[in-house]
Structure 1
Amino acid sequence: MNPAICLNCSSELAVSQHFCANCGQKTNTHRITFSHLLHDFFHALTHADKGVLHLLRELTLRPGTVAREYVRGKRKKYFNPITFFLLVMVLFVFASTMLHKSVMKHGPDPAILASIPTAKGRAIYTAIMTRAGNAMYFMAKYGNVVGLIAVPFLSLITWLSFRRKGYNYSEHLTANFFFTSYNNLVFALFIIPLEIIFSGLQANQLIILIGMIFHSIYLAWGLSGFLEMRGVWNRVKVFLVGIMSTFLWMLVSMTAMALYIYQSRHFYMFLLRMVGIQ
């Protein structure tokens, strides 16, 4: 039998009501047991209308349609993009932690160190290599934080590139949460494990490059569907924006790492000359 009032908002309930008309909670609230927790867990994953597995299937087959329909109002049909992003981040953190455990801090090469004639030169080289190791350590352990910062950056580029399509920045941000979450899942399940298996520097660089190419292609595919781009040139434009935004983010993050690693006045002046300030 239903209670006389809603246990969530205290609104009055009729005997025949299955949901509260005020807050939407089910009127039949049972005691929480372990079996109910398991049921709720699998229901959240597999629910035909808005479960995680349903979202994963749709993001695999038609990512642009998912983002477009969600932005245009079909919010109950799909799992929340922010929640999905956070769930994927948990898996990403776990995979990054495994990578972090497999990455050792690299010190100076003894052969190179021995070839440097001055004590000052050896000290500078040692400091640079130590900071390079710290940077690798940070990227391995806190890659999820870097990924979180990347989403607003990518969204700014896609919004500026296609603002005439009528979507605002927040709507681009929502779409990119879907796309980036899927890409992060691919990285957590495939790219990072391959980095752990093939620990050589050249192999890791190739694996990361493959991951970035996949990211660019998937982002372009998702944007094409989200923006309903038609025609060969429009699709090529989206693809170029996908590549540009991915590699611009790589450039920004790598420049930040280089600034930390080298910490040299000459390096800073070189960057200023590159951007035409000096």
Structure 2
Amino acid sequence: MNCKNCHTELHEHDDYCRSCGGKVIRKRLTFKNLFEHVSETFFNYDNKLLRTFLQLFKQPEDVIVGYINGVRKRYVNVFSYFALAITISGLQILIIQKFQSDFNFYDTSTEMGVQQQAIFDKVNKFTTEYQSLVMMLYIPFYALIAKVVFLRIKAFNYTELLVVFMYTQAQISICIAFFTAIIIPLNLMSLPAYGMSIIPLQFFYFVYALKRIYKLNNLQMFLRTMFFLGLLGVLFILMVIVTVILMFQSGQMQEMIEAQRAAREATNT
């Protein structure tokens, strides 16, 4: 009998090939053993994917710092895990596009509300259709902020911080996609409310993972979290200023101001 994978000659009672390590299959394919194979592959605790997913909640430092330090066989490597997250996020987008209904975030009974809603719809459409791209662009941004926040702790360089946030962003994206597949089709929560609810969950997971990765106590992590929020607030203000400048240049801001003026005059009349 020969191995069906590499054709190495096997002994009669061999269960695995001594050359390639492939499992010796003696039974014909049936629904029963096909189901057993799928269960063993995806739901067995010893499975690398499931072990990586669970450990990123229990001990994220074991997965992330282990990978940085050279442990590459125990868990799914960072690039494969991030690619899986992007793929699952693509399925999430399909679910959202299929089940979401039009939602007016602004009062569209006024001209200004129509303008504001149009801008909101454009941003929402872009972030939905290009979610994978947006997710990838977050990574260097997060790593840069972490480099500043943890400047005095020389534990990781910038490249290693990219690995940290690739793992953590992938983990939270997989979880969000899972909850989306349940909440949106069953209409348990409106899409805007759901979108707002996952922001603090994502934030707290990042704080939890970084606390364990850097081995900080609660006070040390709290101070750095406040520093991070302050830095994020400054960056947000700068982004708003840049957005307003761009809107002025494109003429959209002027249209909104004129629409507001017209609405005010109509109300006074």
Return the TM-score normalized by structure 2. Answer: 0.67
Give, as a single letter, the amino acid of the residue that structure 1 aligns with 2:60: P
| Residue of structure 2 in register with 1:220 after alignment | 207
CA shift at 1:77, angstroms? Answer: 1.0
Within a 5 Å distance, the mapping from 1:32-51 to structure 2 comes to 42-46=39-43, 48-49=45-46, 51=48
Moved more, 171-180 or 33-42: 33-42
Q: Deviations over 1:28-49 (max 9, x none)?
A: 7879x79898777555434655
- Whether 1:235 aligns to 2:232 is no
| Residue of structure 2 in register with 1:175 after alignment | 164
Q: Is the 8 A contact 1:103 1:140 kept in 2?
A: no
Question: Which of 132, 137, 148 is the matching residue for 1:160?
Answer: 148
- What is the distance in 2 between the residues matched to 1:64 and 1:245? 25
- What is the distance in 2 between the residues matched to 1:38 and 1:239? 46
Task: Specify whether residues 254 and 100 from structure 1 end up closer, same or farther in structure 2 by C-alpha distance, changes over 3 A only.
Answer: farther
Task: Specify whether residues 14 and 110 from structure 1 end up closer, same or farther in structure 2 by C-alpha distance, changes over 3 A only.
Answer: closer
SS in 2 for 1:104: coil
| Residue of structure 1 in register with 2:92 after alignment | 95
Task: Specify whether residues 145 and 257 from structure 1 end up closer, same or farther in structure 2 by C-alpha distance, changes over 3 A only.
Answer: farther
Q: Is the 8 A contact 1:50 1:79 kept in 2?
A: no
Task: Specify whether residues 255 and 19 from structure 1 end up closer, same or farther in structure 2 by C-alpha distance, changes over 3 A only.
Answer: farther
- Whether 1:199 aligns to 2:204 is no
Q: Which runs of 5 or more structure 1 residues have no equivalent in the other structure?
A: 117-124, 269-278
Task: Specify whether residues 127 and 212 from structure 1 end up closer, same or farther in structure 2 by C-alpha distance, changes over 3 A only.
Answer: closer
SS in 2 for 1:94: helix
Task: Specify whether residues 103 and 246 from structure 1 end up closer, same or farther in structure 2 by C-alpha distance, changes over 3 A only.
Answer: farther
CA shift at 1:65, angstroms? Answer: 2.9
Q: Which runs of 5 or more structure 2 residues have no equivalent in the other structure?
A: 255-269
- Whether 1:144 aligns to 2:132 is yes
- What is the distance in 2 between the residues matched to 1:18 and 1:152? 43
Task: Specify whether residues 54 and 264 from structure 1 end up closer, same or farther in structure 2 by C-alpha distance, changes over 3 A only.
Answer: same
Q: Is the 8 A contact 1:220 1:242 kept in 2?
A: no
Task: Specify whether residues 83 and 74 from structure 1 end up closer, same or farther in structure 2 by C-alpha distance, changes over 3 A only.
Answer: same
SS in 2 for 1:213: helix
Q: Is the 8 A contact 1:183 1:215 kept in 2?
A: yes
Q: Is the 8 A contact 2:17 2:24 kept in 1?
A: no
Q: Is the 8 A contact 1:161 1:241 kept in 2?
A: yes
| Residue of structure 1 in register with 2:21 after alignment | 26
May I ask how many residue pairs the two structures share in their alignment? 244
Q: Is the 8 A contact 1:64 1:225 kept in 2?
A: yes
Give, as a single letter, the amino acid of the residue that structure 2 aligns with 1:152: P
Q: Is the 8 A contact 1:108 1:129 kept in 2?
A: yes
SS in 2 for 1:77: coil
SS in 1 for 2:156: coil
Q: CA RMSD in A?
A: 4.3
Task: Specify whether residues 213 and 129 from structure 1 end up closer, same or farther in structure 2 by C-alpha distance, changes over 3 A only.
Answer: closer
